[in-house]
Structure 1
Amino acid sequence: MNIKLARLFEIVQILLTEKKVTAEKLACHFEVSKRTIYRDIETLTLAQIPVYSEKGRYGGIGLIKNFTIDKSFLSQNEQNEILFALQSLNAVQYSKNNITLTKLNSIFNRKADDWIEVDFSRYGENDSILFEKIKNSILEKKVIKFLYFNTKGKKSKRTVEPLKLWFKEKAWYLFAYCRKKKDIRQFKIARIKNLELTCEHFERELKKEDLKNQNNVNGKGTKIVIEVDKSQAYRVYDEFFEENIAKKENGNFEITIEIFENEWLYGYLLSFGEHLKVLKPARIREILAKKVEKMRENYKN
């Protein structure tokens, strides 16, 4: 269940309790544009919900008298899916969702058990404020500004229309339309600093092809074969997929991965210290050897 569906349910609930309400009032309540509200009303009409609108000084949006929601049109599994989806919004601290969840619990005459909890913060750090700002900017469709550091450490100011939070390969990313690049871009959350939530509203939506294109932006990557000492088993099973791991006769692990090659990768491989050896390709072996030699130079008197 997405944010729009949750909003549609709540609009119906508001119209059930109020005889008539203006589009301006609904837009203010949900912190969206009037245009979005009118699209929601059209969606409800297409779903055969008897919504009507009247123009003029005493006009507004309402429901035909004596209309009630028949909960029987949803199966028990469908009711559970709706409640579970709303609870997942609670897990990311979408507080405005509580009202909708309470009302639907009442309509369905049931209460789904809590099943999910999410903590965005890293150990010893408080990232929850940053995630709260990004989450609100996506849900409320508000433009944000921030400083961003790329993989080479270069700093730039960005103004973006945030579209989706995405978690992949142990890291969080923000998909957004970057006004500087005039295109959809993905930003690693850990590299976002001084984020500012503006009052400017936008209407852009993220298309499936945008997400697919960004997912494939870096190509296939480099195939790497490494050997990791058996003493590092805790890291091996935490950080690699089981299908990529093979156990050698000496007890060590041989791991085959395909990954985009950059400075981060070199640093990651070196983080294993003397417990890791690159078997293939030879080029990466040489790069790491040079870096180790440079490290030795840094500690010479």
Structure 2
Amino acid sequence: MKLERLISMIYKLLNNEVVSASMLAEEFQVSPRTIYRDIDVICAAGFPVVSYQGMNGGYGMMDGYKMDKSLLGSYDVHSLITVLRSLSTVFEDERAQGTIERLQTVGSEQQSPTLAVDLETHRTDHYALRELRSGITNHIVVHFDYVNNQNERTTRELEPVTLYFKYRNWYVYGFCRTRQDYREFRLSRMMNLSLTQESFLPHNEVPRETSLQNEEWQNQISDVVFRVAPEALAEALDHFHQAEKQFNEDGSMTMRISVYQPLQARWLRSFLLSLGSGVEVMKPRELRGILKEQLQQAILLYEEV
């Protein structure tokens, strides 16, 4: 029981700037005198506990101790280094590189890497990512041209809040001054990005990313079923790895995915058409008709060939 209390006290001290003896005594149901003796034991074990005097005084760990070897195992250290290296390459972040160097002193140099992270970021995107990161950190408005889902080109001014990587693409989320609302923008559709000379106040309360996860949205989800030929399996699996899958006797695969408004989903049509004769849509039949019409229009472009 005493050992468990001591371990719990150590983590309590690590996760809080200052903890009073009376608070520790109340939490662990012991007397303040017992807490004082426990603090002596923790100090004797080599943990740098600092005593703070005054009305709001108590105990805490010495600054900078949280990265000690006793708290991070080699697995944790090497995983952190791998992720930080990938990010520092994209953003050319000197602070991240400094953190990597400090972490390397904690981990075992002899351990072979067991994890690799590739953010699949094109070098041409590095500049935009660094500009957006600078805008977020320094609260500077960014200016750019954008092509939306309807293929409309607009000019935007954005107060960037956060960057994130999902579905193999980078996105920025922030307050769009053009639309006077919070919006998400995909990096690959942003052009002529630049930092302005105008700053903005930090966004203390940022609404969550707007989502269509409601009853109306759910009612507009439909299943799309298609058969993938053997020669197109790898590409289809890469794109629809979460689909329901069933192999057929001829080596083809039947896939089923749920799509929001599949007849209006241009991304879906584009990908299915990119597979050519390697895929055949079975359901819905209306989607078959749309794909047939687009193929016929494409053929008209090459009539003279």
- Among candidates 270, 273, 280, match of residue 270 of structure 1: 273
Cross-structure match for 1:64 = none
Cross-structure match for 2:97 = 98
Cross-structure match for 2:296 = 293
Report which stretch shifted further, 110-119 or 136-145.
Answer: 110-119
TM-score between the two structures when normalised by the length of structure 1: 0.65
Report which stretch shifted further, 127-136 or 146-155.
Answer: 127-136
Residue deviations 1:150-173 (CA, integer Å, cap 9, x gap): 122211111112122233333322
- Among candidates 65, 69, 81, match of residue 71 of structure 1: 65
Residue deviations 1:116-154 (CA, integer Å, cap 9, x gap): 5545434xx622222222233233333211111112221
Cross-structure match for 1:202 = 201
- Extract unaligned runs of 5+ from structure 2: 1-15, 20-49, 53-60
Contact 2:226 2:256 in 1 (8 A): yes
What is the 5 A alignment of 1:11-22? none
Contact 2:232 2:279 in 1 (8 A): no
TM-score between the two structures when normalised by the length of structure 2: 0.64
Cross-structure match for 1:235 = 235
Counterpart Cα distance in 2 of 1:193 and 1:144: 11
Secondary structure of 1:92's partner?
A: helix
Report which stretch shifted further, 113-122 or 242-251.
Answer: 113-122
Cross-structure match for 1:29 = none
Cross-structure match for 1:281 = 284
Q: Does 1:110 align with 2:113?
A: no
Cross-structure match for 2:211 = 214
Based on CA coordinates, which of the two structures has the bigger radius of gyration?
2
Contact 2:77 2:103 in 1 (8 A): no
Structure 1 pair 95/75, CA: closer, same or farther in 2 (3 Å)?
A: closer
| Superposition RMSD in Å | 3.5
Deviation at 1:288, TM superposition (A): 0.8
Q: Kindly provide the amino acid, as one letter, of the partner of residue 88 in structure 1.
A: V
Counterpart Cα distance in 1 of 2:72 and 2:192: 41
Cross-structure match for 2:252 = 252
Cross-structure match for 2:149 = 151
Contact 1:164 1:206 in 2 (8 A): no
Deviation at 1:256, TM superposition (A): 0.6
Contact 2:243 2:255 in 1 (8 A): no
Contact 2:226 2:282 in 1 (8 A): yes
Cross-structure match for 2:32 = none
Counterpart Cα distance in 2 of 1:174 and 1:250: 44
Structure 1 pair 83/76, CA: closer, same or farther in 2 (3 Å)?
A: farther
Secondary structure of 2:124's partner?
A: coil
- Count residues with an aligned counterpart: 236
Contact 1:83 1:101 in 2 (8 A): no
Residue deviations 1:41-94 (CA, integer Å, cap 9, x gap): xxxxx72299x9xxxxxxxxxxxxxx9437379783457758855763442122
